[in-house]
Structure 1
Amino acid sequence: MENLLPLFKAIKSDFCNIVNYKLRGTTIEIITGIQTITNAVVSIFVSYKDGKIVVSDGGWINEGEYETYYAEHDSDEVIDLVVSQYTSYFDIKSVRSNSGTVYYYKSTDRIEHLSSIAHDVAHFIAYTVSAQHTTYRITNEEKTQKTVFTNQVNNALKSQFGDRNVFTNEYIKLKDEQSVKINSVVRIIHRDIYKQFYLMYVSGSRLDAFIKDATEATSKFQLIDQFGVKDSYLQKIAVLNKSAAGYNPQKSGIFLKQLEETTGRPLIEIDANTSMRNLLDALPHN
């Protein structure tokens, strides 16, 4: 145990988002100040193994220790893409224990590199858990409700900008020949400048469905920020269905705040009274 405390001190000296620690036998759990989109605090686990310092998630991602609205881990496009991209981005490795638990980790034999890999593992956990939160089964009723709202927004965009400038269900290329699908893209020439607007729609007949849409939009926009083509004129827009039965800003506030921070602009709320005016007023006329 005595050998573990210097590891905590080494990380804390360079990694300001450290709250506390717990000794767990031959491992020290370090509680960070980093939070997932579900408001869960991220913990990392540090130990010695085969002469190296290992920083891992402690198997907590696989074991469901972080709160999600949907705990079953069915295959999902967003989750698979996020995990693949961020394991590559942060150079994360994984291993399966004899009991079947998957551990995500990084290791080093130099203590001066410890803070850096602790930072990587902690942020990998935050992104991955946030992606898991987007998974849940969509009912036929939910599909119908979402389809109606999607068609309303798409029709309004095409009426304003024309079919040639609006691309629905568009795949945005990322690195390593991967891509992510978003609801729509508007491409126009405005004041002699080529501009693109990436749009994601947030709706839902239940609170968990609405939150799922919000977290999925956040995850996809984050992937585009990290791995998409850089474009200084690109704008990310989230369109909220304020008339949806699942719309409850008091209970979904933290997820909407995360989405707004990711887009870098106010969320656009649409209801039966405003029609599509809020959305169209936020976009330039070509």
Structure 2
Amino acid sequence: MDYKLRGNTLEIITGVSTLTNHYVSVFVSLQSGTYIISDGGWIDKGFYDNIISSEDEDVFQRVETQFQAHFDIRQTKHRDGTRYYFKAVENPELISVMVRDVSQYVSAIVNSQAIAFNEAKETSQRATFYQDVNTYLREHYGSDILELNGSLKRHGEELAAIRFNAIIRRPTTTHLVMYVTGYTAPLFVKDACEATVNFQIAKKDIRVSRSGIFQRSAIVNTMANGFVPVKVNEYLANLEKELEHPLISYHSDKSKILEQIPERVAA
């Protein structure tokens, strides 16, 4: 897409992207009649926001070995300790092919690291939010009526696969609750869409739609990394339209939970 001259080295900014929202740069230099096409040490220096936890090092070493074999990539270590990944060719007509291979290699390595890193972050953030909300619900609704990660199986076998983060059951009304969170905007959107569909399925069930037995609420983690309004607002608006009442922002107004789901039912 672009290039920069860095002394005797040409940086080629490719159109190859990474899951960490970077475009891959490949560096070309001429050394003793041989063209060296490398990553410029950027993988090792973490320029792509690629982070490896110590627990995952063994796994990534195996992944790295496989990708190196696939793309025929070599590596060397500079005197300052930085590792460089590269290919070498004497024929200048093959430079573009080498640039393609190196850029694809960089993207593959960074993405494999980012996936595991983001999964760990997503799991940690999701678990923390779920724990906070679950604790709050336990404090205000007894275990005799609160069911976490519950299904609608008792309302029909065909509904057994439909699960909700929390179900509060009372003699005349069942409150269905979904949590919406996500470490990235796509994961946040996925939660919002899943909540919308689950509520739609519960609403369409003929037996319960006639009796109005189900009340539905969605609790949103507006502190999540994936809560990017410009990317998620339309999906949240669609969810709110399905519920026909406001979504509950847990961190800014969790008291709305008690308004939508009273602690005690009037006699």
TM-score of the superposed pair, with normalisation by structure 1: 0.46
Max Rg structure: 2
Which structure ranks higher in relative contact order (CA pairs < 8 Å, sequence separation ≥ 6)? Answer: 1
TM-score of the superposed pair, with normalisation by structure 2: 0.49
Structure with greater proportional helix content: 2
